[in-house]
């Protein structure tokens, strides 16, 4: 084992994981796992649906993609910037705008500690109809 502990727990850059990453790079709106799976097929690649789910979950854990739930409770995914942010999402076409709200972050933390809650997380998403879908 080298100093950086390579060799174990390695994440291998497989064809499948590259295909998922490529698909994610190909759009900038939120999509379901099934849609991403379909996109990969259309690009000529073939990746099992279970692998798509596994890869998306891993990327989300690594902070490379954001996962949120649409109004029907389905998980939707998108490659996002590193910084903490929220989303303005078109209910119809999925078009997404990343938004930041420092004031909101402060507010949620204040409210939580005010009530003695620890280990805070929060969800804040805005849904609407974008100009193109009016």
Partner DNA sequence: GAGTGTTTGACAATGGTTCTCAAAAGAGGT
Partner DNA sequence: ACCTCTTTTGAGAACCATTGTCAAACACTC
Residue numbering of the annotated binding site for Fe cation: 84, 105, 122
- In angstroms, rounded to a whole number, what is the distance separating the alpha carbons of residues 102 and 4? 35
9 binds, among DNA, Zn ion, its own copies, none (CB under 5 to 8 A by kind): DNA
Bridge-based pairing state of the strands 65-69 and 86-90:
unpaired
Phi and psi at 95, nearest 5°, equal: -50, 140
C-alpha–C-alpha distance, residues 18 and 34, integer Å: 17
Number of residues engaging Zn ion in binding (CB under 5 A): 8
Phi, psi of 115 (to 5 degrees): -100, 10
56 lies in the binding site for Zn ion (CB under 5 A): no
Residue keyed to tokens 């930041």: 100
Binding region for DNA (CB under 7 A) out of 69-77, 84-92, 94-102, 124-132: 69-77
Does 43 interact with DNA (rule: CB under 7 A)?
no
Quick count: other Cβ atoms within 10 Å of Cβ 49? 13
* Segment interacting with DNA (CB under 7 A) among 26-34, 81-89, 112-120, 124-132: 26-34
User: Among 21, 28, 32, 98, which residue interacts with DNA (rule: CB under 7 A)?
Assistant: 32
Interaction of residue 84 with its own copies, rule CB under 8 A: no
> Which of Zn ion, DNA, its own copies, none does residue 66 bind to, with CB < 5 to 8 Å depending on kind?
Zn ion
Rounded to whole angstroms, the Cα distance separating 47 from 17 reads 9
Return residues touching DNA (CB under 7 A): 6-17, 32-34, 46-51, 53-55, 57, 73-75
């Amino acid at each position: 084992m080298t100093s950086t502990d390579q060799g174990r727990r390695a994440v291998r850059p497989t064809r499948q994981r590259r295909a998922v990453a490529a698909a994610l790079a190909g759009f900038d709106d939120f999509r379901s796992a099934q849609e991403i799976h379909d996109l990969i097929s259309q690009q000529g690649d073939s990746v099992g649906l279970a692998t798509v789910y596994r890869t998306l979950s891993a990327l989300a854990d690594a902070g490379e993609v954001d996962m949120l739930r649409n109004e029907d409770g389905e998980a939707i995914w998108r490659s996002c910037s590193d910084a903490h942010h929220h989303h303005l999402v078109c209910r119809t076409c999925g078009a997404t705008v990343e938004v930041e709200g420092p004031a909101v972050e402060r507010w949620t933390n204040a409210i939580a500690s005010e009530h003695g809650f620890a280990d805070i997380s929060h969800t804040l998403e805005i849904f609407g109809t974008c100009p193109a879908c009016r």
